[in-house]
Amino acid sequence: MSNSHPSTTDVTIVGAGFTGLAAAYELAKLGIKVTLLEADDEVGGLASAFSVGNTKLDRFYHILFTTDHEIMRLLRELGLSDQVTVNATNASIYYAHRFFKLSSPWDLLTFRALRPIDRLRLGLLMVRARLVNDWASLEQRSAYEWLRELGGENVFRVVWQPLLKGKFGDFAEQISAVWFWNKLKLRSASRANGGEERFAYIHGGFTVLAQAIARRIEELGGRVEVNSPVSRIEPDGDKWVTVTPHETIVSTAVVATPALPLISNMIKHWSPPDYTRQLERIRYLGNICLVLELDRSLTNSYWLNVNDPTFPFVALIEHTNLESASHYGGRHIVYLSRYMRTSDPLFSSTAQEFCDYAFPYLTAMFPAMERTWIRACHLWRAHWSQPIVEKGYGQLRPPEEGPRPGFFICTMAQIYPEDRGTNYAVRAATRLARRIAGSRGSSPHPPA
C-alpha cells in the first residue's frame, strides 16, 4: 500500500513478540480493531523457532515454570493445553572440574565444594531470600552486597559470583539485589513437594503458542503484518501515524513493544529530549546462542550452571533431558548461551566459527567428547536480549504512558521486579490492553 493512502485502525501495536501478541489478542477479544506490525518474517520475537528434522525447536532456550499462570491461561484459551508436558528435571553445578547435583534442597548436604558450615549458610540464604516481602527494601543494594551478607564470602565466591559474572560480565557488580531475589523466588516456587524442580515445555516450542495467538487475532478481525519494520511513529492531532516501508497506518493509540533504544529512534524527531534520554538510559546486553545437535547425551542434567570463571558460558542446557530426543530424530539438543556487548567481535561469529570457539571448552568439561558427536550446529543472535537491571532500576525504567496521550510502551525492560520472562510480558501486556479498552468504554475484562 502506498504511504499516500493510509490505512486506519483503532490501535497500532509495534512488535510481535509475546508482549505485542498478548496486547493485540486482548484488545481484539474486546472488539477493538488492532494492527500488529513485526519487522521479522515471523511472530514470536525471542521465542521464534527453527526446524530440527520435522520438529520446531526454540532458537533460544525457553521453559515454562509451573507458576507461569498467564501462559497457562493462553494455552487453555487456545486449546493447546494438551501440547504441554511437566517434568521433574535435574540441575547441577560444574565447579573445580567436578559435577555436583543440586536438584533439590537435600543435595546441599553432599555439595562438597562448600564446607559443611557453608552448606548450612547456603540453605539458610535460600530460606531468608524467600521470606523477603518488601522487595523495594533491596532497591539500592547490589546483588554482590546482599548475597555476601546472607551467605558469607565463601558461598558467594563459589556459588553466586561466577553466575553473576558469567551473565553480566563487567556489569556484574552493578546488578540489583532485587533482580537476584526474584530469580531465587521463582526457582523456589517451581519446586514440587519433594523439593525437586518441575519445568514445563510446549511441544514444538513457544512458536506453537505465538502462531496460535496470531491466528486468533486475525480470526477476531485484527491484522498481523510481518516483514513490516516501523521507521517512524508520530502524533497527528489526536491521532497517531505509524510508518513502515509498505504503508502508513493511522490510529488513535500506539503500543510500542521493542527495546527502548529502538523506540527512541522511532519517536526522537518529536519526543521531548528528557523522555528520549530516559529511554536510552536503560542499557542492554546482546545474546549469542549456540545450539548443538549431538548423536549422544553429554550429561543427565537439564540445567548445568557453570561456576568456572574460565568457561565462557554461564550454563549448559541439555534440552533433551526435558523433552525427549525422540522428538528430534534421536538428536540430543544442547544450548550454550552467552550474554555480551554487541560490540564484542565474537558476537559477529558464524555458526562454524563459534562452534570452533566453544569446542575446546566443552572437551575440557567432557574429556571423552569428540568432534564427530556434533551432527549440526546453529547460531542465533539477539541484540537487545537482557536489560541491565542495576541498583535503583525502579526509578530508571520509564512508565507505560508516553509523553503524549495515546502513546504507550510495554517492553521487557519494564518488567520489574520480575525479569524479562514471557509470562510477565503477557501479564503486563494484558493489563495495559485492558486499560486502553477501559478508557474507550469497553469492558476491562475479556468476554466469557
Q: Do 361 and 252 share a structural domain?
A: no
- Predicted confidence at residue 63, as pLDDT, reads 87
Contacts of 346 (CB under 8 A, 6+ apart): 288, 338, 340, 354, 357
**Do residues 300 and 154 share a domain?**
no
Q: What are phi and psi of 32, to 5 degrees?
A: -100, 130
Give the helix ranges, DSSP H, for 342-408: 351-365, 393-396
pLDDT band at 188 (very low <50, low <70, confident <90, very high): low
Q: Cα(4)–Cα(247) distance, rounded to whole angstroms?
A: 8
C-alpha grid cell for residue 221? 478481525
Q: Does residue 125 lie in a domain region?
A: yes
pLDDT of residue 307: 92
Indicate which CATH number applies to the domain containing 315: 3.90.660.20
Q: What are the strands of the beta sheet with 223-225, ordered from one edge? A: 223-225, 34-37, 11-14, 253-256, 407-409
Segment 201-214 shows an average pLDDT of: 95
| Domain CATH for 265 | 3.50.50.60
Pairwise CA distance, residues 45 & 226, whole Å? 11
Look at residue 81 in the predicted model and tell me its pLDDT.
94
The reported pLDDT for the residue numbered 159 is: 93
Q: Are residues 98 and 115 in the same domain?
A: no
In this prediction, residues 251-266 reach a mean pLDDT of 98
pLDDT tens-place string over residues 312-352: 998 999 999 999 999 999 999 999 999 999 999 999 999 99
Please provide residue 227's backbone torsions phi and psi, each rounded to the nearest 5 degrees. 55, 40
Residue 73 pLDDT > 70: yes
Q: Are 75 and 81 spatial neighbours (Cβ–Cβ below 8 Å)?
A: yes
CA–CA separation, 40 vs 229, rounded Å? Answer: 8
Is residue 91 domain-shared with residue 36, that is, in the same domain? no
Picking from 188, 219, 252, the residue at the C-terminal end of a domain is 188
Q: 301 and 380 share a domain?
A: yes
Q: Has residue 273 got a pLDDT over 70?
A: yes
pLDDT per residue over 23-32, tens digit each?
Answer: 999 999 999 9
In the predicted model, is pLDDT for residue 122 greater than 60?
yes
Give the range of the structural domain holding residue 90, as residue numbers without chain letter: 86-104+191-199+290-384
Say if 79 falls within a structural domain.
no
Cell representation of residue 363: 572437551
> CA–CA separation, 402 vs 30, rounded Å?
23
Rounded CA-CA distance 282/289 in Å is 23
* SS3 assignment, position 80: coil
Residue 232: pLDDT over 60: yes
Residue 98's φ and ψ, nearest 5 degrees, are: -135, 155
The pLDDT of residue 329 = 92
In the chain, the percentage of residues whose pLDDT exceeds 70 is 95
Residue 67 lies in a domain: no
